[in-house]
Amino acid sequence: MKLAPSMLMLIVSADSGRIKKISDVMSSEGYQVYFKTDFESALTFVSCQSVDIVVVDSELESAEEFCTKLKEINSRLPTINFSTETHPASSLEHLHGLTDDFFFFDYLEDELPKKAKLYIKRFHRSERFYQLAIMDFLTGSYTYRYMYKLIDDELGRSKRYGRRFSFIAIDLDNFDGLIKKYGRIVSDEFLRQVSKLMIGSLREIDSVARLNDHQFGLLLPETPTRGAEIVLSRLRKLLSDGVTVKKTEVYATFSAILIHSDMADFVDASHLFSKMEELMERVAENGGDSYIVYDPSENA
């Protein structure tokens, strides 16, 4: 499954030689690779970045404690553990329970690149990887990278059959203020509820993806501008009426852009997303609770 942009991998090891060996392999597999040499900075990185997979050198001190804290930050974050040491079965079982993914032990140092490539390919064939690649763990909507694929597919259909489509990007207004007022737990649950409202308001052929922390994308095949504006109006009313989160009524507005297009307007999904970012900057100047309609055929 071809996805863009590339997935982000974090390698945690104090051994620069091991980092380079694994980094070279993972970069060749299409990953955007970062590394940290200690667990404290690694945990900070995971807390601030959308990391997709972590590779952990289990010979570092406190590796088990690190894996436990990783699960507290993101229980669904896949990890691959490695070590040159031989571990007893009981230790393997314990680590597997902490990481819930793959690990490899008892190898020669020169075998590390080969082992790393073997295990990442095995991971790519797993159901866990498929879920990670397409589903956002918090909201249950699609991921940013899977929306890339869906848009590229829709552009291909548009080229073959001459059918136009609409794409909507929704950015929740003042989400940082919402976090300060209600806390992260309520805010995360609010995002889940918003995602459910969006999915429930659309047709089966439509798609919803979480593009970043508080931004969503909606792909509406064969939908004219007026139909997409009706969707926006419906969602605006649902949020302004309030969303019940843990017995608390949370009210919100959003800024949005609506793109109505076909294959002739955009080369690929990356091209469309570049235009989306440009338009989102423009709509942000309006101060919130507004949207912009962009139809390339009318702006030519």
pLDDT digits (tens, 9 = 90+) for 124-136: 777 777 777 788 8
Q: Are residues 82 and 173 in the same domain?
A: no
For the chain, the distance separating the N- and C-terminal CA atoms, rounded to the nearest angstrom, is 34
In angstroms, the CA 157 to CA 160 distance is 5
pTM of the entire predicted model: 0.71
**Under a CB-based contact definition with an 8 Å cutoff, are residues 165 and 220 in contact?**
yes
Q: Are residues 164 and 18 in the same domain?
A: no
**Total structural domains in the chain?**
2
pLDDT at 207 over 80: yes
Determine the pLDDT at residue 299: 58
Q: Is residue 139 in some structural domain?
A: no
User: Which tokens is 254 given?
Assistant: 């959003």
Q: Are residues 231 and 285 in the same domain?
A: yes
User: Which tokens is 293 given?
Assistant: 């309609």
Looking at 134, 161, 179, which one is the last position of a domain? 134
Q: Are residues 87 and 182 in the same domain?
A: no
Q: Are residues 114 and 215 in the same domain?
A: no
Q: Are residues 245 and 277 in the same domain?
A: yes
pLDDT digits (tens, 9 = 90+) for 36-62: 999 899 988 887 777 888 888 877 778
CB atoms within 10 A of CB 239: 22
CATH at 215: 3.30.70.270
Q: 97-118 burial by CB neighbour count: b if 16+ within 10 A, else e? A: ebbebbbbbebeeeebeebbbe
Whether the upstream peptide bond of residue 88 has omega within 30° of 0, thus cis, is no
Determine the pLDDT at residue 97: 44
In angstroms, the CA 12 to CA 82 distance is 10
CATH at 86: 3.40.50.2300
Q: Which residues pair with 38 in a beta bridge?
A: none
Q: 152: domain range?
A: 144-299
CB atoms within 10 A of CB 15: 16
The mean per-residue pLDDT over the stretch 12-27 comes to 88
pLDDT digits (tens, 9 = 90+) for 264-281: 688 889 999 999 999 999
Q: Is residue 248 in some structural domain?
A: yes
pLDDT digits (tens, 9 = 90+) for 159-201: 888 888 999 999 999 999 998 998 888 888 999 999 999 999 9
What sections of 52-183 are H helices per DSSP?
63-73, 89-99, 112-124, 127-134, 144-161, 175-182
Q: Are residues 151 and 294 in the same domain?
A: yes
Q: Which residues pair with 54 in a beta bridge?
A: 10, 79
